Structure 1
Amino acid sequence: MKTLLPTSTAGSLPKPLWLAEPEKLWSPWKLEADELVAGKQDALRLALMDQDRAGIDIVSDGETTRQHFVTTFIEHLSGVDFENRRTVKIRDRYDASVPVVNGAIARQKPVFVDDARFLRQQTDKPIKWALPGPMTMVDTLYDAHYKSREKLAWEFAKVLNQEAKELEAAGVDIIQFDEPAFNVFFDEVNDWGIAALEKAVEGLKCETAVHICYGYGIKANTDWKKTLGSEWRQYEEIFPKLQQSSIDLISLECHNSRVPMDLIELIRGKKVMVGAIDVANHQIETPEEVAETLRRALKFVDADKLYPSTNCGMAPLPNSVARGKLEALCKGAAILREELSRGTF
């Protein structure tokens, strides 16, 4: 029987301190060669155990097998130079040293398929795997070859589609594309961003998701949020076209945000991953706080299409905080499930 209000994480979980420096993005690995392979698998098993203990319904690898949600995929592509980096402003927000596209983009071999197959062997639960979206990949590079964000996005969409089809064959139930750039470049999203995403999911039979948030809980993102005013209406710009897309699930940031909940009405009919856990602070939500966020969302999304989740990834948080937040998410969803079963909501 299908679970009502199935819980999941939007993205990463903290890595064990023996694998990488904790509470840090782009944290270098502490192991090498065969030890690193074994260490990543151990970290994946720990991430799965934490999700199982909390009661998460749709599990993932917690992105413990990759250094960063975008660049780890790009590292495996030809046509990208990681040695001679350039500094760019990512999402018009913060400077980062990034690789350079210096030739035609191509995927020579699978990137995450072995890791996904390993995860599939560890659990009978539905599994979700995250890939970077084409537009966010474009925004995390310096392009010296195509000289066109749109052309580069289409090339990335093609290689993402190759990877996604092999992930599906490895037993992945939901493939999620992370597109935080969708909250920034509205004209491009509507002109070609959603079309490139459609190319990335072309021919897939498994469920597909797009995750659009306001970013990890790092200073550059929290400072940006302070400039957005009393209402965050970015979703309003892109939801109408996403509602018409073939993407099955749309993942949003809701808890402790200034996103007007009624914007979800614009994607009526889609399954919605409602972010009910704030990843930008160390305070662990109470189950009742989670339940209240979900109750507000239920006015605009049918119960059988509501998927409680986190706002974003939790890689920069301490392990103990992330575990507490996972537990709160599951307990909050359980409160609402009970109310719905009794008809008291």
Structure 2
Amino acid sequence: MKTLINKRLLPTSTAGSLPKPAWLAEPEKLWSPWKLEGNELTEGKQDALRISLQEQKLAGIDIVSDGEQTRQHFVTTFIEHLNGVDFENRKTVKIRDRYDASVPTVVGPVSRQKSVFVEDAKFLRQQTTQPIKWALPGPMTMIDTLYDDHYKSREKLAWEFAKILNQEAKELEAVGVDIIQFDEPAFNVFFDDVNEWGIACLERAIEGLKCETAVHICYGYGIKANTDWKKTLGTEWRQYEEAFPKLQKSNIDIISLECHNSHVPMELLELIRGKKVMVGAIDVATNKIETPEEVADTLRKALQFVDADKLYPCTNCGMTPLSRQVARGKLSALSAGADIIRKELAAK
């Protein structure tokens, strides 16, 4: 599997979500409710997945995904399928110390009755021969999207989720997923927890996997709560400095991060030298479509600190809150920018 992904220099991919069609869910909105029910919803999700895949292919994306068309939200859709979580009994919590959200409550031991995404991943695998990536929420981001009334310990709950995620990941690998990505935006917030047990929990989630594994750490979707937070971070965003040294020593294969239009100093990538890096070269917090040259410029800067055979051009985060037209333009720009750099490297 790993050789298949590495055949092309600078293989492009997305961080995860892509906009949903208007007939499936309300566009440009997080947590948007489904517009269909029952069998129609199942078919609608599969149709949306096919469209999302086709748009990635037309844009020239190398490592494709489901565009998260089959889930309402990147964290809660996974949690919905677990025992021990009550979605009727909701509490308001502050997510990533940033914004209030109404979330379900952990009321008993958490466990997974059956696979959550395996049928969807199998369906994606049937549609394409390209390498496929599947995103799962990371343990720390999961506990940050819940109210815990049972374990009363962030760490204990995270370890339980890590075990459940490992079961799911092994089944995804078995149906042909090439890269399993764990989304951990919480790694940019809870630095002490990350280093004390967060990375260890993540390694528990990937235990025994033979496919490639990735962790995606960003500054969030392009929603107001996140863009307002970014304005408070000053001219240099050095949050990655906290987790990178330990991640560099971890068993995770790929680190996915936000670079374009951010104030992340590019030299921080030196801290993960040796790892494969999904470099976010597309800003998801603006409707302005990057030019291929802007993408290429971000990649050139990253190449000072990441070896070319380990650089994977990517988006900063998911694109659910954007229009489909804007997302299409951004995917095409990502491919075209990567192509500019491939030609430059070939000329050398």
With the length of structure 1 as denominator, give the TM-score of the two structures: 0.99
1:161 aligns with 2:172: no
**Alignment-derived partner of residue 303 in structure 1:** 308
Partner SS, residue 93 of structure 2? strand
Matching residue within 10, 18, 21 for 1:13: 18
Task: Work out the percentage of aligned pairs sharing the same amino acid.
Answer: 82
Aligned equivalents of 1:207, 1:124: Cα separation in 2? 17
**Alignment-derived partner of residue 61 in structure 1:** 66
How many matched pairs? Answer: 343
1:66-85 paired onto structure 2 within 5 Å: 66-85=71-90
- Which AA in structure 1 matches 2:113? Q
1:210-221 paired onto structure 2 within 5 Å: 210-221=215-226
Aligned equivalents of 1:33, 1:157: Cα separation in 2? 31
Structural RMSD (CA): 0.5
Deviations 1:121-178 (A, max 9, x none): 0000000000000000000000000000000000000000000000000100000000
Partner SS, residue 250 of structure 1? strand
**Alignment-derived partner of residue 128 in structure 1:** 133
1:143-182 paired onto structure 2 within 5 Å: 143-182=148-187
Partner SS, residue 129 of structure 2? coil
Task: Show structure 1 runs of 4+ deviating over 3 A.
Answer: none
Pairwise CA distance, 1:84: 1.1
Aligned equivalents of 1:254, 1:268: Cα separation in 2? 16
Deviations 1:28-60 (A, max 9, x none): 000000000000000000000000000000000
Partner SS, residue 67 of structure 1? coil
Aligned equivalents of 2:91, 2:182: Cα separation in 1? 25
Partner SS, residue 8 of structure 1? coil
Aligned equivalents of 2:335, 2:289: Cα separation in 1? 13
- Which AA in structure 2 matches 1:218? I
Partner SS, residue 79 of structure 1? strand
Matching residue within 8, 11, 17 for 1:3: 8
**Alignment-derived partner of residue 214 in structure 2:** 209
Matching residue within 165, 188, 197 for 1:183: 188
Partner SS, residue 47 of structure 1? helix
- Which AA in structure 2 matches 1:313? G
Pairwise CA distance, 1:292: 0.3
Pairwise CA distance, 1:11: 1.0
Which runs of no fewer than 5 residues in structure 2 stay unpaired? Answer: 1-5
Partner SS, residue 291 of structure 1? helix
1:247 aligns with 2:239: no
Aligned equivalents of 2:89, 2:276: Cα separation in 1? 42
**Alignment-derived partner of residue 112 in structure 1:** 117
1:282 aligns with 2:322: no
Aligned equivalents of 2:333, 2:174: Cα separation in 1? 33
